[in-house]
Structure 1
Amino acid sequence: MNENVIENVIEISEEKIKKLMPEYSKKKLAKAYEILKMISENPNISIDELRIALDVTDRTIARYISELKDKGVIERKGPDNGGKWKIR
């Protein structure tokens, strides 16, 4: 595991997400946490892969990604196809 991935994993906690997303229900916090966990384990993961892994609709995953970006939790480096996710 490279250093960057370890750093990302340490940064993620359900408490941190709860503070950033106080309006989220427990269920939504759990999904957001799962998304961040998957991104930390594979920064190259596609939105489609996230959607399939979480068994949610395109619209649902797009909403989570959008909200996480808006809160400054994640950002996309590079193009949608071939870029990487970065947890901030």
Structure 2
Amino acid sequence: FPWPSLMFVATVDDITEFRVREFFLNPEGHLANRIDVLNEELVKWHPSTLSKVLHLVTDEDRESIQKGAEIVADAIVGLLQ
């Protein structure tokens, strides 16, 4: 799963708010408008949006992907505040 992290993510335990923040605040990212990008990413990682594609995920991975998405969404909300 393509997690927003500069480091390799092997398990949901590798997804932390710090790593997500590091990814979106990476100065090498050259984001033209961080607020717009963060808002777009928040929509992408929001549980209601994710629920539309979770049926494509294997049952054994579904819970960890939901947990990871919650961590990502919370980190993005923190960046927007």
TM-score by length of 2: 0.32
The one of the two structures with greater contact order (alpha-carbon pairs below 8 A, sep at least 6) is 2
TM-score by length of 1: 0.30
Q: Flag the structure with higher strand content.
A: 1
Q: Flag the structure with higher helix content.
A: 2
